[in-house]
A and B are shown apart, each in its own frame.
Chain A
Amino acid sequence: MTMLPPSAPKKLGLVIDLDICVGCHACAVACKEWNDGGQFGPLPDENPYGREPLGVWFNRVHTYEVEPKSNGKPPMTVHFPRSCLHCETPDCVTVCPTGASYKRAEDGIVLVDEDKCIGCQLCAWACAYGAREFSEQRGVMQKCTLCVDRIYNETLDEIDRQPACVMACPTRARHFGDLGDADSAVSKLVAERGGYDLMPEMGYKPVNKYLPPRERRDGCASTSAAAQDEKVDFSTASPLLRWMDRILSR
């Protein structure tokens, strides 16, 4: 249903830790692989071995550099994965004329019902986060499903009922859980680390949160004070003299 469901207590989503993301693209490819062969697939790749390969991806990894305000600090390189944020009040759902684009009442996952989609692409225009992709080949809109076909899948072991991208991430920078539950591990993580929303000014209320890079302890933050206070007599011409009368044992 294209009307948004009444905000439900359960808000499943991802928490992505930009502090440890090394930009390896593992999440993006794992996502592509899981969904390409699954019920939301295929994720078409137009001329895959040619001049302008054009594929559908639900998850893409950017690289940014940040020129720090506090001068003196070196520029930072930040890797930034981007997928559907499963917003609470997203226009991608309300603009849909067919009801194909909908938000699940039970857990807030935003999905596209490909059998209803007419491929008008209006939802892609309405998404502020570039999470929806369309390919001529299939003529329907596709997007991150939060691996809805994994997270409840009883044919998988309990521990494997997680999004493919989360399971793949080699630095464990991706976390999945219920952001509606203040006591969930993800909610705690967000509280602890100051997790934030992307483009809050859009008013879509993203469920997914990003954890900011931790304060970099470079330059200024020197722990060396303690080490300095060693009572070493630097006046001696050469340390060799100090060492001559060092008594050691083995």
Chain B
Amino acid sequence: MRPTFSIIFFTVLSGTGYGLLFLLGAGLLALWPHYTAPGAPDKNGITLTLYTYPRVIDYGLLIGALLISVGLFASLAHLGQPQRAWRALSQWRSSWLSREGVAALTSYVPLLSLVAIFWLPWLSPSTGADSFVWSVGTLARPLGAVLAICAILTVYCTSGIYTSLKTIHAWHNAYVLPGYLFFSLLGGAAVFWMLHVLSGNLSDPTLRATPFLIICLALICSVLKLAYWRFIDTTRHPATAESATGLGRLGQVRSVEAPHTEENYLTREMGFALARKHSAKLRGIALILFGAVPILFAIIASMWPALDWVGACFALAGVIAGTFVERWLFFAEARHVVMLYYGAARA
């Protein structure tokens, strides 16, 4: 399949964004505020203070929102009639693309509310701490939960678009969904770490935990991808030129003349074929970027906390770049059955 930049850009950016939002949502649900600074609960029994929330959340929510929004706009660029994009929300009952749209938009609800909650006091000091504290106390956790769910659902739907295509063996398999999920988490984690470093709150224990999270995710992604590549290298689509033409009953089928001597929409869109040696090279590069690099720098950082920021930068760079290559290959290595009509040896 022809790797379309807009789509790759979209899946990588929004994937990373949703990964980050998932982590933040999950954090709000599970981690914060429970570890927060000491202090007796006040009369309302609330122990929170604004400052016991790591600042990384405020920025994280913004960055997350930015990433998914840019991604969404990028995906519109791929449409022939972007102005009608709203129509894409209508067919959620059968279409994964539609579902993705619905999920993506829904996730803005918890996201924007949280943004409001965490930023309003800064924007308008007038709002008293109490009211804010109250709102956070009561809403942050449920909203966090909803955000986490929406984020993961959106990524799930994105992968559904690909896994549902029976016509493309490299996509219609069990490795694709986990691939999308873990890559988005890996990306999210890398951003999360970066934000932490920038937020400078070095005492924050989650910061100390992030590198380990990254090591785990990077390992999982590497294993997943290796397994995926092995799968597409060793298996193929059941269809053949013989079944595509139904002429197998007579003998072996070979294409002599294509309908037209020049390329057409189908051959351009689905005829993209990547040479074996290139894919091997690119797979290596991807693996190093999204696997080795983050693992290496996460280890370094956890050994020498002083090098935190270096580690975070390289990890982030590696993960994003690596995911781009991985996603490019995801398209470039995929074969569409229709090419069997155009002389493809296999699908």
Residues of A within 8 A of B97 (CB): 95, 97, 120, 122
Q: State in angstroms the CA–CA spacing of A96 and B93 once bound together.
A: 10
> Does A77 make an interface contact (CB < 8 A)?
yes
Q: Contacts A2-B91, A118-B88 hold; do A62 and B246 have CB atoms under 8 A apart?
A: no
Q: Contacts A66-B252, A98-B91, A120-B88 hold; do A202 and B79 have CB atoms under 8 A apart?
A: no
Q: State in angstroms the CA–CA spacing of A10 and B164 once bound together.
A: 28
Identify whether the interface residues of B are mostly helix, strand, loop, or mixed: mixed
The answer to whether B85 and A118 have CB atoms under 8 Å apart is yes
Residues of B within 8 A of A65 (CB): 253-254, 256
One digit per residue, 1 when the CB lies within 8 angstroms of any chain B CB and 0 when it does not, for chain A 38-82 equals 000000000000001111110011111111110000001110101
Q: Contacts A63-B256, A91-B166 hold; do A212 and B250 have CB atoms under 8 A apart?
A: yes
B4 to chain A, nearest CB (A): 9
Q: Contacts A61-B259, A97-B88, A124-B269 hold; do A66 and B80 have CB atoms under 8 A apart?
A: no
> Does A134 make an interface contact (CB < 8 A)?
yes
Query: Looking at the complex, which of B133-141, B279-287, B335-343 is the stretch in contact with chain A?
Result: B335-343
Q: Contacts A65-B256, A118-B85, A140-B81 hold; do A95 and B341 have CB atoms under 8 A apart?
A: no
Q: Contacts A97-B90, A203-B166 hold; do A120 and B79 have CB atoms under 8 A apart?
A: yes
What's the tally of chain A residues with a CB closer than 8 Å to chain B?
Answer: 68
> Does B251 make an interface contact (CB < 8 A)?
yes
> Does A117 make an interface contact (CB < 8 A)?
yes
Residues of B within 8 A of A128 (CB): 166-167, 239, 337-338
Q: Which of A60, A68, A98 contacts B87 (CB 8 A)?
A: A98
Residues of A within 8 A of B263 (CB): 52, 54
A105 to chain B, nearest CB (A): 15
Q: What are 7 contact pairs spanning A and B, CB under 8 A? A: A2-B94, A77-B256, A95-B94, A97-B97, A125-B168, A198-B243, A210-B246
Enumerate chain B interface residues (CB-CB to A < 8 A).
1, 78-82, 84-85, 87-91, 93-98, 101, 161, 164-168, 238-239, 241, 243-247, 249-260, 262-266, 268-270, 336-338, 341
